[in-house]
Amino acid sequence: GKAVLIDIREKDERAREWIPGSVSIPLSDWRNADLSPYKGKRVVVHCRSGNRTMVNAALFTGAGLGEAAFLEGGIEGWRDAGMPVQRNAKAPLEIMRQVQIIAGGLALAGGLAGYLVDPAYALVAAFVGAGLLMAGTTGWCGMARLLRHMPWNRQPAA
């Protein structure tokens, strides 16, 4: 029979673009998800680029599903191959891209102001760098947590 396509990206990533007919089971929910509808079925698991899928392959193959396969290159590879995707351009950018834009802007502004106006402004860039370093080493990102509560990110998912 037909394989079930499971998208493991988080809801904020899927909100802008998804493969028609795919099922959303975010990686963060995987261990608690009800997988019973997919038991014994062939499944194809995908993420954005294929990396998260491969890193967590044992989680999917050990879930008691039928045959589990992985979409090489993720949704990016699928799109690049000319396969159909659905888009919602009104959905906000995914949280991590928002973090990158804001952190990059703050670091740039702090660095320039430190050079052009007063060396004390360089502390803005240092503060942002410390936040990014903490996020990378611990997996906890304060800016991402804050952004999730912003009004533009609280729209109902499609």
pTM higher than 0.95: no
* β-strand partners of 43: 4, 68
Residue pLDDT, tens place only, 103-156: 999 999 999 999 999 999 999 999 999 999 999 899 889 999 999 899 988 766
Which of the four pLDDT bands, split at 50, 70 and 90, describes residue 1? Answer: low
In the structure encoding, which two tokens stand for residue 59, read together? 């989680």
Query: Which of 5, 4, 52, 48 has its CA nearest to residue 28?
Result: 52
In the numeric block, the tokens 């909100």 are attached to: 15
Identify whether the C-beta of residue 74 lies closer than 8 Å to the C-beta of residue 47: yes
Q: How far apart are CA 17 and CA 20, in angstroms?
A: 9
Least confident segment among 6-15, 51-60, 124-133 = 51-60
Residue pLDDT, tens place only, 88-101: 988 888 888 889 99
Residue positions annotated with a catalytic role: 47
Mean pLDDT along residues 23-42: 90
